[in-house]
Amino acid sequence: MNALAFLFAAYIATWVIHAFYLGTLVRRFSKLRQQMKELGKGK
């Protein structure tokens, strides 16, 4: 592997981890919003 391959591997790994984590946050937000709606409907 040349230097550029290591460089891009590091940058891609950084953004893949951030994208994955942001994805989990969005999923958790929508799940909680759904639960809030269901609680609201239960009235």
CA distances from 28 to 10, 11, 12, 19, 41 (A): 27, 26, 24, 14, 20
Question: Taking CB under 8 A as the rule, does residue 30 contact another protein?
Answer: no
> CB of 11: closest distance to another protein in angstroms?
6
CB 19, min distance to another protein, A: 11
8-23 in b/e form (b: 16+ CB < 10 A) is eeeeeeeeeeeeeeee
Binding site for another protein (CB under 8 A): 1, 3-4, 6-7, 9-11, 13-14, 17-18, 21-22, 25, 28-29, 32-33, 35-36, 39-40, 42-43
